[in-house]
Amino acid sequence: MTHRRLGIWTAALLLTAVSAVVGCRLVGTDGITPVPQLLAFLPWLLAPAGLGVALALLTRWWPGALWAVVVLGLLAWFIAPYGEGGEPDGRVLASLEVLTSNVEFGQATDALVAAVRREAPDVVFVQECEYGCSATLRQTLAGEYPYRRSVEGFGSAGSVILSRFPLKAAPGIPATMGMPGAVADVRGHAVRLQLAHPMPPLPSQLDQWRGELRKLRDFADSVGPEPTVLAGDFNASQDHAAFRAILDTGLRDAARLAGSDRTPTWPARTAPVIGAQIDHVLVSKDFSAGDARFLDLADTDHRALLVDLALHRRPG
């Protein structure tokens, strides 16, 4: 009887913890700590939920078994890709490769330079590119990427957009860390570029995290019919309500379009076995995505994301 009681209590505790996170996902809120942090790892909550099922069955706790089945069903539902899919109808006007990389306080600058020279993307979004990183990119890649927009800063505050295409100035998004913007001339077609790097959801910074993701949502909602690429380290996954609000404006996740919506980008040390996809390339409905690749760079806790995009003519 003692073992049965212990099993029931253990199952109840596991299911209560998982249910709190799943409940927030169900009602569309990111909640309070530790819910936002756990939401990033929602698919891995299948493990404690599954253990709860096993304990409920072993102890013949039938209400608990039903509870566990409901939780597992909701988890399976939420693991499905979020947002719109499909291909644009219009013919292809231009193609481009986009790479986004968080170089962790500039530590992975050399690894990024090597990757950029190897992969030769057309546009590069770099987060946590402090003064030294920014200077290195200017010195080593200016020949291949003559156009750039940046927010210079120490530590994580610096960010850079590098481009093979001519760039015009465009307003960035004011935030704690740099989020520069630009308009690229992609073979005669204007494409709005915006780098994303909101604050992470640390317990003491949840209001800043929500507020800066809200600014990204407002940007996405304001661009209208202009072809748009919004890329960077969002510090949020599709299981965060604040990130889904950005997708609800009509932008689409290029990795999801390419069939890689759950491939982890952080933390790099445990990816791809376990982690969260918090680095994204979001595109307007004018774009299709043919491929998404995740690059392991030395000296950073993020994997870089490289996507092949095609810009289509809008119908009508």
Q: Where is the domain boundary, 52, 79, 106? A: 79
* Paired tokens of 125: 């979004």
Q: What is the pLDDT of residue 1?
A: 59
Residue 13 lies in a domain: yes
Look at residue 178 and tell me if it is in a domain: yes
pLDDT of residue 87: 81
Same domain, 73 and 138: no
**Which residue range forms the structural domain that includes residue 18?**
2-79
Same domain, yes or no, for 239 and 134?
Answer: yes
CA nearest to 121, candidates 308, 270, 256: 308
SS (H, E, C) the chain: CHHHHHHHHHHHHHHHHHHHHHHHHHHCCCCCCCHHHHHCCHHHHHHHHHHHHHHHHHCCCHHHHHHHHHHHHHHHHHHCCCCCCCCCCCCEEEEEEEEEEECCCCCCHHHHHHHHHHHCCCEEEEECCCHHHHHHHHHHHCCCCCEEEEECCCHHHCEEEEECCCEEEECCCCCCCCCCEEEEEECCEEEEEEEECCCCCCHHHHHHHHHHHHHHHHHHHHCCCCCEEEEEECCCCCCCHHHHHHHCCCCEEHHHHCCCCCCCCECCCCCCCCCECCEEEEECCCEEEEEEEEECCCCCCCCEEEEEEEEECCCC
In a domain, 255, yes or no: yes
Residues 206 and 286 both lie in one domain: yes
Residues 169 and 241: their CA atoms lie apart, in Å, by 31
Q: Which of 79, 108, 131 delimits the end of a domain?
A: 79
pLDDT of residue 314: 81
**Tens of pLDDT, residues 274-301:** 999 999 999 999 999 999 999 999 999 9
The pLDDT of residue 83 is 82
Q: What is the pLDDT of residue 272?
A: 86
Q: Which two tokens stand for residue 204?
A: 């003491």
- 173 and 41 together in one domain: no
Q: Are residues 145 and 263 in the same domain?
A: yes
**Do 193 and 99 share a structural domain?**
yes
Six-digit token pair at 162?
């590098």
pLDDT at 273: 87
Tell me which of 79, 108, 130 is where a domain ends: 79
Kindly state whether residues 129 and 22 are assigned to the same domain. Answer: no
Q: In this structure, what CATH number is given to the domain that contains residue 204?
A: 3.60.10.10
Residue 39 lies in a domain: yes
Overall number of domains in the chain: 2
Based on the fold, state whether residues 214 and 299 are members of the same structural domain: yes
Residue type, 199: M
Residues of the chain with pLDDT under 50: none
Q: Based on the fold, state whether residues 115 and 263 are members of the same structural domain.
A: yes
* pLDDT score recorded for residue 297: 98
Q: Model-level pTM?
A: 0.95
Q: β-strand 189-196 against 228-233: which pairing, if any?
A: parallel
The answer to whether residues 64 and 15 touch, using CB atoms and an 8 Å cutoff, is yes
Are 25 and 132 in the same domain?
Answer: no
Cβ-contact 175, 212 below 8 angstroms: yes
Same structural domain for residues 106 and 195? yes
In this structure, are 67 and 102 located in the same domain? no
- CB within 8 Å of 127: residues ≥ 6 apart: 100, 101, 102, 103, 156, 159, 177, 195, 197, 232, 233
Residue 87 lies in a domain: no
Q: How many CB atoms lie under 10 A from the CB of residue 165?
A: 20
85 occurs within a structural domain: no
Q: What is the pLDDT of residue 89?
A: 84
- Give the pLDDT confidence score for residue 224 in this predicted structure: 86
Nearest to 196 by CA among 68, 94, 102, 295: 102
